[in-house]
Homo-oligomer: A and B are copies of this chain.
């Protein structure tokens, strides 16, 4: 039986990927951020998951405005890094897990989530930067990754409640997959940032810290946050944080916080990272 054992939420700022790709991680601007990633990398390497379910958003790379899926799940064998205008990131191809991905697609649809099934797509910084953050520089990513893309570019994104409920449904679906797999769910994006308009550069550390504080023990407050609150308080692009709620929903109610890291800035963005683990079953 497969099971979700842990969750990791992290920002997915393109500049973090670029800093790694260009060898700048020891520079004074970047060092405090990357130092904070070390414990997470060690934790993930020790945990050694069999599959990562990566909840992220595409930024006009695999999907254009032609077709805008609210929730899309990638069922392919392989996903190549996207060219976002700067050329593709020099990171390994992502190998999928068609078996579990199709199982998820099937059971999520039968459980009334209106998934878009994707057989072929590229993956942009929304997916590759969290892998770089959590795995470091690698010749090959340590395990298969299932891309689960959430629309947060075109208003309206799904509500926080819908995202949390998707996480719940993922948890249930993983449990009914008949292979013995340790699954980690990533939620990515955020934290507070605004990339456009005269208000670009907005950061709200108080909002972010309250978000980090409540994610584990008081997710109900976050589930109920309306979109306008994210946009006003955390910046227009801060709405990405709804994806953290998918991760939270995929974990048990009594999941415990293992690690937390917060840093301002990375380029235009406040960055956060949080690790949750499910409690072992008491026998």
Contacts and interface: CB of A to CB of B under 8 A. Distances in A.
Interface of A: 63, 65-72, 106, 109-110, 112-121, 154-159, 161-162, 165
Given A156-B109, A159-B110, A116 B66 contact: no
Nearest to A116: B69
Choose among A114, A157, A158, A159 the residue with the greatest number of B CB atoms under 10 Å from its CB. A114
A65 B119 contact: yes
B156 A118 contact: no
A172 to B, nearest CB: 16
A150 B33 CA distance: 45
A63 to B, nearest CB: 8
Given A106-B156, A156-B106, A66 B112 contact: no
Contacts of A161: 112
Contacts of A157: 109
19 contacts: A63-B67, A66-B120, A66-B121, A67-B72, A67-B116, A68-B116, A68-B118, A68-B119, A70-B109, A70-B115, A70-B116, A106-B155, A106-B156, A109-B156, A109-B157, A110-B156, A112-B158, A114-B114, A116-B116
